[in-house]
């Protein structure tokens, strides 16, 4: 698993996915991803059957229930780790 970057959550619960990371995961604009909480981490996968949409700016909105569960507030830092076709999000 490779640590890719650290990003901050904005006031609307969005987090920007680095362009190189989107390329590695094959995420096009309007692609769908699913988020799964496992303990204190979030696992993101590309989804063909729906989920959260990657916006034109390469951002995803982390649902409020996930942010609340993990105590991720606006301006919280989230580390991104890349492993195969997964993106793992966790506090640094």
Give per-residue pLDDT as tens, 9-45.
Answer: 999 999 999 888 888 888 887 889 999 999 999 999 9
Name the one residue in this structure whose structure tokens are 């604009």: 29
Query: What is the Cβ-side half-sphere exposure of residue 12, based on CA atoms within 13 angstroms?
Result: 6
CATH for 17: 3.40.1550.20
Q: How many residues does the chain have?
A: 92
**pTM to 2 decimal places:** 0.88
- Structural domain for 58, as ranges: 2-90
- The terminus-to-terminus CA distance of the chain in angstroms comes to 14
Say which DSSP state 17 is in.
P
Question: At 85, is the pLDDT very low, low, confident or very high (cuts 50, 70, 90)?
Answer: confident
Average pLDDT over residues 2-10: 89
- Residue 2's pLDDT is 72
| Per-residue pLDDT at 83 | 86
Closest CA to 29 of 6, 2, 55: 55
Going 40 to 17 to 51 to 73, the CA torsion angle's sign is: positive
């Amino acid at each position: 698993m490779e640590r890719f970057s650290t990003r901050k959550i904005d006031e609307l619960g969005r987090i920007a996915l680095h362009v190189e990371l989107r390329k590695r995961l094959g995420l096009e604009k309007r692609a769908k991803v699913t988020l799964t909480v496992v303990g204190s981490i979030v696992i993101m996968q590309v989804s063909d059957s729906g989920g959260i949409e990657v916006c034109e700016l390469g951002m995803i909105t982390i649902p409020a229930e996930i942010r609340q569960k993990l105590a991720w507030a606006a301006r919280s830092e989230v580390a991104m780790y890349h492993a195969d076709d997964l993106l793992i999000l966790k506090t640094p």
